[in-house]
Amino acid sequence: MIRILLYAPITFTRHCIGGTLQYYTGTLSVDANGNARITGTFDGGRYNWSASKSTPMSTSTKPAPVTPTPSTHYDLTGKWNIAFATALRGTIDITSQSGNEFSGTAHIDSGKTERIINGRISGDTITFTRMWEGQNLHQDYTGTLSVDASGKITANGTFSTNDNGIWTWSASKSTSAPVTPTTPTTSTGSGADAFESGTRINWQPTSGLGYRLFRSTSSSSLGISVTDFYITSTSFADVNVEPKTTYYYTVKPVLAEAKPFDGIEEKLGPTIATFTVTTGNQTYKPGSFKHFILLKLESPYMSVDGVNQEIDPGRGTQPLIISGRTMVPIRAIVEAMGGTINWEAGTQKITLNARGNQVEMWLNKNDIKINGAATKMDVAPIIQNSRTFVPIRFAAENLNCKVDWINSTQEVVIVYED
């Protein structure tokens, strides 16, 4: 009998010609002779499949240790010169970067501008999508970043068009100062502030699956994780705190998920940041459990209880300021808090239903109704890029939420009870 030394789950997607996708799952096993075999199902379990490979790889009954790799912080903002194997040339302008997420515009085809969306840095790997407005056309790019001694950043990789084909690309940007890889270090006292509803913490991205943020009232204790799950955002609003209290926060990267059925615990890396924050004399509804939604100007992402997600998937929609009011694409906000939104084309009315309240607004009108009671707001909802933007303070506060504006980071925090 051949002894099996390793079992591991495996998943992948087969992209067939014509656009059909097949989703495969299976179990990888390796025996003492180094022979690897996978058995599983695809198309939702409708069909079985198996594969085998003879490999000289060695195996062990113990998983190999995961060692955190040095993290590089790249500043991608600015103009990049991009070139293709076809001799086509152009530029990319990265206009916004928040941590490891970025967006901008592409100017490659003469006289045309496309959007750069879904930009993300993971270690030295860069990914983004070039999106044509109003057309069923997009290109997905992936590449590797590097910095030379003079501070010049380059990226080299491949891209596909509408998920078909593979072509090469390269781009370069000159930066005033070299960006060099460094091992994670502890950052004390910066990147954290108290605001009316609690504390807001921000840290630099590093390699891993996500982050654990620990909170304690003692400087000598790690304390408890502020969430049951690991956080994927690098910003967090801790709204479940008490007034006039000093809190000590510690951030650790998550290197590997827990596998409770195999007796394997979640694996954390070394501390990458620590913060000390004292809350104000009052906080929003202390003693009750609260949720938060955090948005940032010029960023197409929002953090919902620490989970990073696109505000408007695939479109790069961002909050904006009009007449001193923060305007947001309201559907994402209302649905994130478990509510619904309705649009009546004939009257151009927007109806929000959430948290036991109903808010009615009309496009390009300052009228607003809260549970049937008519009043006014100073900025009217608008349509921009085929999306409805409404003043978030008027909408959210009338849905029994609290809205805070953090001026130093250009962020809006929406807080609401369970």
Round the CA-based radius of gyration of the chain to a whole number and report it: 25
Find all residues with CB under 8 Å of 291, minimum gap 6, and list them. 239, 304, 305, 337, 415, 416, 417, 418
Cα(238)–Cα(54) distance, integer angstroms: 51
Cα(245)–Cα(262) distance, integer angstroms: 40
Give which of 11, 16, 353 is closest to 164, Cα–Cα: 16
Find all residues with CB under 8 Å of 205, minimum gap 6, and list them. 71, 73, 99, 100, 121, 234
Order of all β-strands in the sheet with 35-42? 4-15, 21-31, 35-42, 47-54
Q: Which residue's entry shows tokens 């004390």?
A: 188
In the prediction, which pLDDT does 374 show?
A: 92
In the prediction, which pLDDT does 285 show?
A: 80
For the stretch 78-118, pLDDT in tens is 889 888 877 778 889 888 877 778 888 888 866 678 888 88
Give which of 367, 375, 345, 340 is closest to 355, Cα–Cα: 340
Q: Find how far residue 75's CA is from the centre of its chain.
A: 17
In the prediction, which pLDDT does 179 show?
A: 38
Domains in the chain, please, with CATH? 4-54 (no CATH), 78-174 (2.40.128.30), 192-278 (2.60.40.10), 290-417 (3.30.457.10)
In the prediction, which pLDDT does 7 show?
A: 46
Section 337-354 average pLDDT: 92
pLDDT surpasses 70 at 358: yes
Cα(36)–Cα(27) distance, integer angstroms: 10
For the stretch 227-249, pLDDT in tens is 888 888 888 999 889 999 999 99
**pTM for the full predicted model:** 0.49
Give the confidence band of 184 by pLDDT, cuts at 50, 70, 90: very low
Whole-number average pLDDT of the chain: 79
